[in-house]
Amino acid sequence: PAGLYFVGTPIGAARDITLRALDVLASADVIAAEDTRSLRHLLDIHGVPLDGRRVIAYHDHSGVGAREKLLEALAQGRSVAYASEAGMPLIADPGYELSKAASEAGYMVTCAPGPSAALAALTLAGLPTDAFFFVGFLPNSTSARKTRLEVLRDVPGTLVFYESPKRVGDSIADMCAVLGGERPAALCRELTKKFEEVRRGSLESIGVSLADSPVKGEIVLLVDRARSDPVKEVDIEQSLIEALESHSV
């Protein structure tokens, strides 16, 4: 049926795509992608024919023109499928402006969900998943990064960062300074790919391991929430005295 379909694509292993996502891509009247080449390659791998359809390039910042074109197709009652380069669109990827515009205009907006590096990393990290906060990419400069980390210091959930191999050492150094190096953390890289690896430990120990053996590839870094200070001996003593006093008549 007519409407906008956000399609989840693999984050590494090409077969990590749902049958429904392939159905949507096979049947959509219009296909749009952040990276037209990689989507055409994916369709090719899975034997989905384009049948004369062109893959339109769309990025939230590629100008209003491209968005108008897709909204016009929706206005004509056509179905439009959109995929970002990897994983779920809108998650540290384009699609938000398109989703907003299409839903505000009253068109049907739905998705064929697929993998996302953030969720894959949460399942492997060994950190609490009851509550988590997706940060995405931190700013590039140390001062802006530290300011952002200060805002995140007391978030009551696991923090999820997307990182680049070139920058991750500097980010971890800033995290140690602002969040504290003793926080449990996990560096998850190249998920679903040949060199998948998870390094678990304190932020500080992961920083040290990076200095010894740097990493390559795509990275998700997870950091545990702040824990309250362990109860100090003197506090226990004090509360015992208070308890005894309150019971003596």
Which residues 107-126 are close enough to bind ligand SAM by CB under 6 A? Answer: 116-118
Which residues 148-187 are close enough to bind ligand SAM by CB under 6 A? Answer: 162-164
Which residue in 4, 39, 185, 219 binds ligand SAM (CB under 6 A)?
A: 219
Which residue in 29, 190, 197, 204 binds ligand SAM (CB under 6 A)?
A: 190
Q: Which of 133, 129, 116 is nearest to 218 (CA)?
A: 116
> With CB under 6 A, what is the number of residues at the site for ligand SAM?
24
* 218 binds ligand SAM, rule: CB under 6 A: yes
131: tokens are 């509550």
* Angle between helices 96-104 and 64-75 in degrees, nearest 10: 40
Q: By beta-carbon distance, which residue lies closest to ligand SAM?
A: 87
Which residue in 87, 94, 184, 207 binds ligand SAM (CB under 6 A)?
A: 87
SS3 133: strand
> What x/- string results for residues 44 through 83 when contact with ligand SAM is judged by CB under 6 A?
----------------------------------------
Shortest Å, Cβ 234 to ligand SAM: 44
Q: Are strands 197-202 and 184-189 parallel, antiparallel or unpaired?
A: antiparallel
* 11 binds ligand SAM, rule: CB under 6 A: yes
* 88 binds ligand SAM, rule: CB under 6 A: yes
Q: What distance in Å separates the CA atoms of residue 50 and residue 25, rounded to the nearest whole number?
A: 9
Q: What angle do CA 89, 90, 95 make, to 5 degrees?
A: 85
DSSP annotation string for 173-211: HHHIIIIITTSEEEEEESTTSTT-EEEEEEHHHHHHHHH
Which residues in this chain contact ligand SAM in the complex, by CB under 6 A?
11-12, 84, 86-88, 91-93, 116-118, 162-164, 188-193, 218-220
